[in-house]
């Protein structure tokens, strides 16, 4: 493991799987080695309650008697998926237009992973913003909890206002 900082190691890898209901998942290091336990509390300290399978991740780890565990999440990158569906609402939009849309602070109203969608309320506005599961996946998230704080880039789609990019509020503060 690279960069020993008092028995702490900085590791770059990808999320093998993460189950928010179980409260944990595993990371595979780019350098190889054993799977690294990622507990939901470590992820919450980063400002997220979930992370998409296959997402790139940089973490600080610590070796224990029970194996290697993540103790801090430094960054999360969306998974690179060639098979990811492109929503019809975004098909005609230039990715630069989406990237230049302002970040809007919001809270999750509800999200149903099984249905693949939900809604958020933007602070200071009355209308709901549609959240699609594919947008979450492309943003590196797997699920959302009611009341969770987000930053979103919102566009006007064929069905009204919808999130084109979603990130944890804490991650948005760095942008």
Q: What angle do CA 168, 170, 174 make, to 5 degrees?
A: 110
Q: Is the pLDDT of residue 41 over 70?
A: yes
Q: Which of 120, 142, 146 has the alpha carbon at shortest distance from 40?
A: 142
In this prediction, what percent of the chain has a pLDDT beyond 90?
33
Whole-prediction pTM value? 0.64
Contacts of 42 (CB under 8 A, 6+ apart): 59, 70, 71, 72, 73
| Confidence at 66, pLDDT banded by 50, 70, 90 | confident
* CB burial string 1-18: b at 16+ within 10 A, e below: beeeeeeebebbbbbebb
Q: For domain 88-172, which CATH number applies: 3.90.1280.20, 3.40.190.10, 3.40.640.10, 2.40.50.140?
A: 2.40.50.140
Q: What is the location of CATH 2.40.50.140 in the chain?
A: 8-77, 88-172
Any idea which architecture 8-77 has in CATH?
Answer: Beta Barrel (2.40)
Digit-coded pLDDT (tens) for 83-136: 444 466 666 667 777 778 888 999 999 999 888 899 999 988 888 999 988 888
131 touches 163 (CB < 8 A): yes
């Amino acid at each position: 493991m690279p960069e020993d900082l008092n028995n702490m190691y900085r590791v770059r890898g990808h999320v093998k799987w993460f189950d928010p209901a179980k409260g944990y998942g595993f990371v595979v290091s780019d350098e190889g080695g054993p799977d690294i336990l990622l507990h939901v509390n470590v992820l919450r300290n980063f400002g997220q309650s979930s992370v998409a399978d296959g997402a790139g991740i940089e973490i600080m780890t610590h070796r224990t008697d029970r194996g290697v565990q993540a103790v801090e999440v430094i960054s999360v990158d969306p998974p690179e998926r060639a098979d990811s569906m492109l929503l019809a609402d975004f098909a005609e939009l230039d990715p630069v237009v989406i990237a230049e849309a302002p970040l809007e602070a919001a809270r999750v109203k509800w999200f149903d992973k099984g249905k693949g969608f939900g809604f958020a309320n933007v602070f200071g506005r009355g209308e709901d913003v549609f959240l699609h599961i594919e947008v979450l996946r492309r943003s590196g998230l797997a699920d959302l909890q009611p009341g969770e704080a987000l930053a979103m880039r919102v566009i006007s789609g064929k069905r009204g206002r919808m999130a084109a990019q979603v990130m944890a509020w804490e991650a948005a503060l760095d942008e």
